[in-house]
Structure 1
Amino acid sequence: MPKQQRGEATVEQVLDAALRIYTSSGEAGLTLGTITSASGVSSGSIYHHFGSLDGVVAALALRSLDQLLRELAPALMQAADARSGIRAVVLAYLDFVRDRPDAARLIHSVTADRLGMANARRIRDSQEARLTPIARWIHAHQESGELAVLSAPLIESLALGPVVAVVRRWLTVGDVDLEEAARELPDHIWRSVSA
């Protein structure tokens, strides 16, 4: 196996082990020792690929975010109109959370927030290929008169902000019904972004 492929396999091995540990023990369980033990990868190799324990967590959160965006973008692009696109994105987000609660918990964790705030521009740049079609979709539906003429970041915030708030509450307090959210959120969000 070529060196680059071995390196990629090592990264995935470490991230898979880290997610298993995070799932069973939470953030407190993620230590260099537990990751080396669970992954079979040396601490030197982990430092080589990730730089630090925070680097492992950041890479794991970024991988989970990438998985989420891989589901949101196609849901949006396949929609016939802006309203059905908003509905599709909300439902795809909620489905992701329901199907992968551990990845969702990591994406919405305090640590991921801290790392995200510190590296926001770099993270956004790394997701540019996934985000550009979304920005184009927004612009096209603004041009057609369906979406409010607001900046793409504001449209994204209005569309996803309520979903993120509901998800965080479901993951932490547990007093939100995701089925109710799936029924109610799309229409309420649509009213906030429609022209």
Structure 2
Amino acid sequence: MARAATREAILDAALTIVADKGLEAMTISRLAEVSGASNGSIYHHFGSRGGVVAELYRAGFAELVGEMIPALDERPAEAVVPELAGRFLDWIVAHPTRAEFVYRASTAGVLPEEETAAFKARVMAPLATWFGARTARGEVRPVPAWALDAVVMSPVHECARRYLAAPATFDLRRARPEVEHAVWAIVRP
């Protein structure tokens, strides 16, 4: 396999394993078996099992935030903030395996906390900048940058988790208007 193809095969295998059997089942030997890559290739590309987890987490989280960023425009905050929540939910529905991985990895204690916090701050910088400018205009209440994901988006996270746990019984699209309203309620002045 070519380098890039090997790397992608390993990441795809990791997602497949986690979706099928959970994060605990993702071992180097299982990654090698599912991806067709050698153990040495996995260590070469990622350094460890934790390196695979960290790479998939970073890629998934960046993709999720990237889905939200196009909403950051000059419309009133009352229109933009609910759209951010809606775009987040749309990404969850469109990418349930990646979303499941992002949630599992973030709560499994397998990612270095300081490194993850710095990464999230970089990825979420456009959101923090937009919220900072809107706070200065009085359109949203002051919210520290760290709270944008943990506090402001908490209704989105809860509904996403419920959907991922039981997609057949939790209608995320039906919940969307309530979630959008709840997120706006958290930040409105």
Q: Which TM class, normalised by the smaller chain length?
A: 0.7 to 0.9
Residue of structure 2 equivalent to 1:176:
170
| Mapped partners of 1:37, 1:19: distance in 2 | 14
Structure 1 pair 153–59 and aligned structure 2 pair: CA distance change class (3 A): same
Give the deviation of 1:165 after TM superposition: 1.0
8 Å CA contact 2:121–2:146 kept in 1: the answer is no
- Confirm or deny that 1:167 pairs with 2:166: no
Q: Which amino acid in structure 2 is aligned with residue 122 of structure 1?
A: E
In the aligned structure 2, how far is the partner of 1:71 from the partner of 1:50? 26
CA displacement at 1:9 relative to structure 2: 4.2
Structure 1 match to 2:75:
80
The one-letter code matched in structure 1 to 2:129 is R
Alignment partner of 1:146 is 2:151: no
Residue 51 and residue 98 in structure 1: after superposition, are their counterparts in 2 closer, same or farther (change >3 A)? same
Alignment of 1:47 with 2:32, yes or no, is no
The aligned counterpart of 1:17 is: 13
Q: Who is 1:137 aligned against?
A: 130
Q: How far apart are 1:159 and its partner, in Å?
A: 2.1
Cα pair distance change 1:42/1:79, threshold 3 Å: farther
1:3 aligned partner: none
From 88, 104, 114, the counterpart of 2:99: 104
Q: CA deviation at 1:143?
A: 0.9
Structure 2 partner of 1:189: 183
Question: Deviation of residue 161 (structure 1)?
Answer: 0.9
Give the C-alpha shift of residue 33 in structure 1. Answer: 2.1
1:66 and 2:62 correspond = yes
Q: Which runs of 4+ in 1 moved over 4 A?
A: 6-9
The structure with more helix, counted as a fraction of residues: 1
Q: Is the 8 A contact 2:140 2:188 kept in 1?
A: yes
What are structure 2's unaligned runs of at least 5 residues? none
Q: Structure 1: how far apart are the matches of 2:69 and 2:58?
A: 16
| CA shift in 2, pair 1:168/1:29, >3 Å | same
Task: For 1:106-121, list aligned pairs within 5 A.
Answer: 106-109=101-104, 111-115=105-109, 118-121=111-114
Q: Which stretch has the larger CA shift, 131-140 or 29-38?
A: 29-38
TM-score relative to the length of structure 2: 0.86
Secondary structure, aligned partner of 2:142: coil
Which amino acid in 2 is paired with 1:187?
H
TM-fit CA distance, 1:73: 1.9
Tell me, which stretches of 5 or more residues in structure 1 are unaligned? 1-5
Q: Which moved more, 1:163-172 or 1:56-65?
A: 56-65
Whether the 8 Å CA contact 1:86–1:159 is kept in 2: the answer is no
What are the Cα deviations for residues 167-195 of structure 1, in whole angstroms up to 9, with x where unaligned?
A: 11221245532122211111122122111
Say which is worse superposed, 156-165 or 123-132, in terms of deviation. 123-132
